[in-house]
Amino acid sequence: MQEIKASMAGNVWKIVVEQGEAVEAGQDVVILESMKMEIPISSEAKGKIKEIKVEEGSFVNDGDVLMTLED
């Protein structure tokens, strides 16, 4: 099982995928907002979204798990 983690602290501005959706490596899955900048977070692996662990509007720290993937 792969984890998609935040690469920096910020607010979850938008979740662009849904649970159960298939994603490709490099596909944007979440957009964080920090200091009025939008930062896309991409999946590093191909898989299916198993669980979304954050909600839009929530705050995350660097390294927090945003989603998990299954093969």
What confidence tens digit (pLDDT) does each residue in 3-62 have? Answer: 999 999 999 999 999 999 999 999 999 999 999 999 999 999 999 999 999 999 999 999
Output the pLDDT for position 71: 85
Is 2-70 a CATH 3.30.1490.440 domain?
no
Task: Write down the domain spans for the chain.
Answer: 2-70
- Contacting residues for 33 by C-beta, under 8 A, at least 6 apart: 10, 11, 12, 13, 39
The pLDDT-based confidence of 1 (bands split at 50, 70, 90) is confident
Output the pLDDT for position 40: 97
